[in-house]
Amino acid sequence: MPHLARFLTTVTLMMLMCGAPVALAALDCSGAVPVELNQTYPGDTTGLPDNVTLYGCSDWVESGGEIVHRLHLDLPHHFRVTLVPDFCDLDLVILDVCDENLGCLLVTDDEITTTSPLSGDIYLVVDGYMGAACPFDLILEDLGVPNQRLSFGQVKAIYER
Ligand SMILES: [Ca+2]
Ligand SMILES: [Ca+2]
């Protein structure tokens, strides 16, 4: 049986390696701008490369260059992100994985407000609709942590301060 088990494991590994073709994401997060809530970040997509034109959760043609921002939240938060472009049609994309197909949560004209709290790494991409490119401000607002039941230990810690 150990031989059979080892054989089956090897076959499974080979199937995993050779079976499904791995689609590579075109979105480049290597130079992502680190951002935090309750801050405003100015940027400019003028002259930047267009790595992603279509996102998996939208049919808008985002053929302008894009800037990726990375927000990291240890705890689940509600938040709002507002994009204020300087006289051109930029759009805002939110993703939970750096992959324009697998990670795409929403593509919007200018604002995203969370409907359920998010944590971990969140990618906010400013992209240009139909080739648009211009300066912008990206505004992040913390809308708080969701109501949660506290454990006995947490309540005790609050009152013992
Ligand atoms: Ca683009
Ligand atoms: Ca727009």
pLDDT, tens digit, 9 for 90 and up, residues 60-106 = 999 999 999 999 999 999 999 999 999 999 999 999 999 999 999 99
Give the largest CA-CA distance in the chain. 69
- In this predicted structure, which of 11-15, 87-91, 120-124 has the lowest mean pLDDT? 11-15
Residue 154 belongs to some domain of the structure: no
Contact 118, 82 (CB under 8 A): no
Residue 56 belongs to some domain of the structure: yes
d(CA 120, ligand 2 centre) in Å: 26
Q: Is the pLDDT of residue 30 over 90?
A: yes
Q: Is the pLDDT of residue 157 over 70?
A: no
Q: Which ligand is nearest to the CA of 53?
A: 1
156 pLDDT tier (thresholds 50, 70, 90): low
Residue 106 belongs to some domain of the structure: yes
What phi and psi, each to the nearest 5 degrees, are found at residue 160?
-90, 0
Residue 153 belongs to some domain of the structure: no
Q: Which ligand is nearest to the CA of 131?
A: 1
Average pLDDT of every residue of the chain:
88
Residue 142 belongs to some domain of the structure: yes
d(CA 23, ligand 2 centre) in Å: 28
Q: Is the pLDDT of residue 24 over 90?
A: no
Q: Which DSSP state fits 130?
A: G
Q: Is 11 exposed, middle or buried (0-12, 13-18, 19+ CB in 10 A)?
A: exposed
Q: Which ligand is nearest to the CA of 134?
A: 2
Interval 137-150: pLDDT, tens: 999 999 998 876 55
Q: Which of 140, 100, 96, 92 is nearest to 119 (CA)?
A: 96
Q: How many structural domains is the chain composed of?
A: 1
Residue 34 belongs to some domain of the structure: yes
Contact 32, 68 (CB under 8 A): yes
d(CA 160, ligand 2 centre) in Å: 50
Q: Which domain holds residue 110?
A: 26-146
d(CA 87, ligand 1 centre) in Å: 17
Taking the model in full, what pTM does it have? 0.78
Q: Which of 54, 61, 81, 79 is nearest to 69 (CA)?
A: 81
* Residues, CB within 5 angstroms of ligand 2 (ion): 89, 91, 109
Residue 151 belongs to some domain of the structure: no
d(CA 23, ligand 1 centre) in Å: 18
Q: Which of 107, 104, 75 is nearest to 89 (CA)?
A: 107
Residue 5 belongs to some domain of the structure: no
> Residue 114: which CATH number?
2.60.120.380
Q: Which ligand is nearest to the CA of 108?
A: 2
Q: Which residue has the tokens 């705890």?
A: 75
25 pLDDT tier (thresholds 50, 70, 90): confident
